[in-house]
Structure 1
């Protein structure tokens, strides 16, 4: 048999393979085309019959709703170098205050724990959770440990979180994300935001194909799924669950919310929540600020509203092997475990989208094989076209009208796919990425094919999809320069100023009681002066410092700040000018987020200065304690015997020695800074005095309060004794 006979036999076999591939691609193409029709019909209907009659929702309205407590859950196994910057950036930039970040770490991962500890030391709303079992376990197992820690924290702080948010350690969150969740969490049980990967080099097709897939998935497919079936698959990041949803998952799982054997616990939970009749929503919410409008250029190719949606940004794998590993985990979880865990429902629409989820197990293989087959046929056609007297091998296919029709229809669907992909990538990323998405479709097919092969091999080797082990993906976090410039620690600043030595700092950190601020401990033990401490705090905060007279603040300035606001942030107003706003005084650093929150409540611009130790504390006692306060200098014998200079020194000593009852309660009752911070958030608009509020919430007992008051009285200096000491020194 000649090579020609062998080749013709091969082509005949290939012919029937082409038939099979064409039919499968036709079915998949019709499926995708149906989604396209649904999306564009809905898009134009809303454009011409909804948006022309109703204005877009103004993002400023997100500030109207009172801040509900929200918990962010971040699993972290071997995420040193990533989780710290992520938690720090979120804690510094989120335009929201009533939230806490819970980072799940492992007992055998000290590097990640150390990094999280550093962030926790600077931000009282960041918590480290250590899982019960050594890592690596599954992401679901880590999340279950985090949920348990959240409920323990709630019991300590006497409150309940309204929403539970999923994030990965590499996520860069939108500053408005929590405000959007806050706006929706009472009405929706699963809220999913779009994910838009960061771009790398234009030649990096591996990470680039994630851009293409997420742009189309979260720009078109998921919105159509929500509109038709009312079900939204969680992306595992940027997902907020209501308290109702978490409670239901805990009841259903006998105290375990996330299925530890599932590799895609996020996808699994989205279906479980829908099965219980709860509400799910996918939110594309643009925040178009005047600055954004000004910077936007029509030549960029980006859509102004589409490119300004509140979303999650992160880097995706940029090597072939890591992408295949990650996608094979998704395929095992969604296709193989999904078929085992979730039976077909009574809803045709839900079954349709389950089919779409699971068809990837076939189309990932078919798409790659089709590329190989049609590449061969294309090369044969090219040889025939360039040869003078060629063998007409492709004539085998020429007398097959049905095959010709199939190929033409599939060619139409392919062109449509390219156009759809281009439109959705360009809308967010612009012209360049839109055009790059076309060749990246081929590379994406290759990645998906090998991911499917790996997933099949894993399932066959284990004999059960639920026994496939978790396979972690290595993460990158973007370098954001100024946005996460580190705040120097007070101890290091004091060393740089020459106020203390490294040996003194190490000893102080070791001996300092829990709940007591380092600066307060150093000052109380006469290791630093109030002058050096105020300089250090001002340098850390990058603001000025000033000596104020705490009992000489005008009534007008006092009424500017509410009682709850004053105690919540430890502030008093010391100046107000209509063109410059309110000048605040604080003894501690105030974050930009805190300043923004204060500014919104006062409805004017705010700035602040650092005051000497004790000055704000005595002002808070005098004006915001709810109790009668008398100037301690009034009626004190022999105070007038001191000259002006000595009077100022004695008074400065007395003020410097003032202790916050909250700090003593934190120390004596072992209340963590995180718990105390949450308590103060709850107190902000409460009419009770602070001590009555703490008693009412059962944060402390009457006996503990009495003991703390006694401790406060012992620690604070006696003005009469200071006067006597000053007079004796003059003799």
Structure 2
């Protein structure tokens, strides 16, 4: 080896030594910072275990059912979310143990594919609403949320309600069944409620998606808990966050009608501090349910903690590719570090500043993490060359004989072992021991991603010159797919079956009579009620059965409450194992079925019945005292001729429910009607009176609908009189 090269290596060793000293000292201080959080968490945990839980059992889900349901609004911003929003709404409707909620999906005028997807969902679920933003997308998540809030306030005015909570979710979120009940229980005493977020882990080789699971497991399992305990401030994760009405009103007042900062890339993070400055109560809610049926399904593996895996949380897929992860994390760094420093500054409270520092230190730690990894690789390579090649140049130790440096490095080694243990422990509690062990090597890959995201964020800010002008760089989403049958319009379905011609369909659609299409086709004699219900059942992916309204088992009627039958327009028709089978003339949403099931404390299923059969059954079994003379005569005639298909068909063609008339006449939308049904009690008042008292319709419009209903009933009466 030449002397010139030796001289260069000597200088390199000296430089490396100074780098090691600088890194060692910085990492030691950062390690003490993390150790402080660990000490506080474990001290608090053991104190609560020995001094609180030894005298008071942890709250279970029964407490959540003790509070009446308040109206809640779920806000979902969506840009290029085809195939994602629909599955989220379907899964929410099928699993959420709550009824009084509405989902508002924000779309963009230049994203027709997502709009069509949301429109299909709105047809199936009346509690899902499409919001079209004013400006073409992508703008920012904050801008989309502001448009959604405008739509929510408009819905409130029309429905004559006030939402108690405004819940923030992304389109790919999988929501715990009891999440809304938890929010409902804590509102309005709490102004910001955040539940844990647990990403779905990938296969063992998926280090990119896996590092998200590692970070959230520790952050939401320990760090945020300490943060809330010491400062009372909780940052929103952007999903699984509920804002009280008081919080939203305060944000609207501050922003002169605009709640979210449209120039912020992390508007949810900013709001946590803004609400804390206003003296509002923020809480990180880790609530574990005792019944695994009410928790998100998790495959049990060794190492999992039952209490942790049954916590009310949000599950979602995070980016699996390196480039997507870097883009997402660079957005977080820009929003929290650069924009956060500009917008929020520092707090007069020292403890708040401490956590602001922990949020913003990522700009430093993300750079140091990769440098330490590189230095470690260099040191190991130098040692291997010296140890394995006898004739090679013997590199002197860059640590030298500095006792202080060696002591610092020893402490750093101990702190590193603690970091690895903490990460492994919290990952294991939720994901199991295999993911816990994988979290150790994934720390290295996490350092690489964070370093690249840091560099990208720095380059963007430097290039633009103003962090607030950095554009929103949306991350693509994926959702655990569910089987969903494509929705073919009823008329097209009947044409494909050869039951209808295009000319007949056009004439029915353009008819001056305002009826549902299926009923209009019945009245024109183009199809039978059996053909109609068969097509509707295929469209809704439901079963159907013919129904004789007068031969239902009286025991079923006795066991099924009158207020549920009249409120949801269903009748019990049988049992299927433990499940009660209901019949309805229109597809009933999973939200309503869930509400019925909870009240009955047994599972229920629903089947479609031909036109008019359920209406007759409701009048025969549940509404005798409210029938006028004409309706009673029609009912008696139908009962006497229940085995005559032609006469029953003619009678049932004219049986129409008030709710259907109000909707098909455009007097009230399906969304407002279903919202009004939530607090409707048929035992106390009629449906019409309830809608008037709620301010949904006027007395004049109700009279108009009732006259239409009476006119239809008179046609049935006239036919029955002539036939009798």
* TM norm structure 2: 0.91
Cross-structure match for 1:151: 153
The 1:399–1:723 alpha-carbon spacing in structure 2 relative to 1, beyond 3 Å, is: closer
Looking at structure 1, the residues matched to 111 and 8 of structure 2 have their Cα atoms a distance apart, in angstroms, of 60
1:169 match: secondary structure: coil
Q: Deviations over 1:614-644 (max 9, x none)?
A: 23334545676696314637679x979x996
Q: Taking structure 1 as reference, are residues 296 and 611 closer, same or farther at Cα in structure 2, changes over 3 Å only?
A: closer
Hey, what's the Cα distance between the residues in 2 that align with 1:583 and 1:396? 77
Q: How far apart in 2 are the matches of 1:203 and 1:646?
A: 66
Match of 1:207 in 2: 209
- Listed one character per residue, the Cα deviations across residues 367-426 of structure 1 (whole Å, up to 9, x for unaligned) are 111211222122212222223355453345222111111111111111111111111111
Taking a change above 3 Å as real, the CA distance of residues 31 and 660 of structure 1, as seen in their structure-2 partners, is same
Measure, in 2, the Cα distance between the counterparts of 1:5 and 1:191.
61
Partner residue, 1:600: 598
Query: What pairs up with 1:524-539 in 2 under 5 angstroms?
Result: 524-537=523-536
For 2:707, which of 702, 710, 727 is the aligned residue?
Answer: 710
Does residue 652 of structure 2 align to residue 655 of structure 1? Answer: yes
2:288 aligns with 286
Match of 1:310 in 2: 312
Partner of residue 94, structure 1: 96
Paired residues for 1:178-327 under 5 Å: 178-289=180-291, 300-327=302-329
- For residues 575-606 of structure 1, give each alpha carbon's deviation from its aligned partner in whole angstroms, at most 9, with x where no partner exists: 799x9675543222334443332132234554
CA gap of 1:136–1:487, structure 2 versus 1, over 3 A, is closer
Residue 28 of structure 2 is matched in structure 1 by 26
Q: Unaligned stretches of 5+ in structure 1?
A: none
Match of 1:590 in 2: 588
- 5+ residue gaps, structure 2: none
Q: Deviations over 1:15-68 (max 9, x none)?
A: 111111111111110011111111111122222222222222222432332221
Structure 1 CA distance for aligned equivalents of residues 599 and 131 of structure 2: 33
CA distance in 1, matches of 2:38, 2:640: 86
In structure 2, distance between residues paired with 1:185 and 1:514: 46
Change (3 A) 1:230 1:525: farther
**Residue-by-residue CA offset, 1:491-525 (whole Å, 9 max, x unaligned):** 576557654457756775x5489995443343344
User: Is it true that 1:632 corresponds to 2:634 in the alignment?
Assistant: no
1:160 counterpart SS class: coil
TM-score after normalising by structure 1: 0.91
- CA drift of 1:684 comes to 3.8
Of 417, 421, 424, which aligns to 1:422? 424
Question: Which of 676, 690, 693 pairs up with 1:679?
Answer: 676
Show the 5 A alignment for 1:572-583. 572-573=571-572
SS at match of 1:97: coil
Q: Contact between 2:557 and 2:621, CA under 8 Å: does it hold in 1?
A: no
Instruction: Give the SS at the match of 1:393.
Output: coil
CA separation of 1:568/1:506 partners in 2, compared to 1, >3 Å: closer, same or farther? farther
Instruction: Tell me how far 1:674 sits from its aligned partner.
Output: 0.7
- Size of the aligned set, in residue pairs, is 719
Give CA deviations for 1:659-699 in whole Å, capped at 9, x if unaligned: 22222222334421111110111324782222112121221
Distance 1:599 1:532 in 2: 30
Q: Secondary structure at the match of 1:300?
A: coil
Task: Give distance in 1, aligned partners of 2:201 and 2:227.
Answer: 27
1:548 is matched with which residue?
548
| Separation in structure 1 between the aligned mates of residue 271 and residue 513 of structure 2, nearest angstrom | 39
- SS of 1:129's partner is strand
Deviations 1:461-485 (A, max 9, x none): 111111111111111122345xx56
Distance 1:305 1:632, change over 3 A: same
**Alignment-derived partner of residue 374 in structure 1:** 376
Q: Supply the RMSD in Å over aligned alpha carbons.
A: 3.2
8 Å CA contact 2:292, 2:310 repeated in 1: no
Match of residue 4 from structure 2 = 2
Q: Matched residues in 1 for 2:381 and 2:640: separation?
A: 103
> Cα gap change, 1:548/1:373 in structure 2, threshold over 3 Å: closer, same or farther?
same
Quote how far apart the aligned CAs of 1:127 are.
0.7
Pairing 1:667–2:667 present: no
Cross-structure match for 2:557: 557
Does structure 2 retain, via aligned residues, the 8 Å contact 1:167–1:238? yes
SS in 1 for 2:58: coil
SS in 2 for 1:349: helix
Is this contact kept in 2: 1:143–1:258, CA < 8 A?
yes
Partners of 2:637 and 2:421 in 1: CA distance:
85
Query: Where does 1:32-71 land on structure 2 (aligned, <5 Å)?
Result: 32-71=34-73
Classify the secondary structure of the residue corresponding to 1:708. helix
CA distance in structure 2 between the partners assigned to 1:474 and 1:633 by the alignment: 57
Range that drifts further, 540-549 or 491-500: 491-500
1:372-451 paired onto structure 2 within 5 Å: 372-388=374-390, 391-451=393-453
Q: Which deviates further from its counterpart, 339-348 or 550-559?
A: 550-559
Residue matched to 1:699 = 696
Q: Distance in 1 between matches of 2:129 and 2:294?
A: 34
> Could you say what secondary structure the match of 1:57 adopts?
coil
Alpha-carbon distance in structure 2 between the residues aligned to 1:604 and 1:543: 20
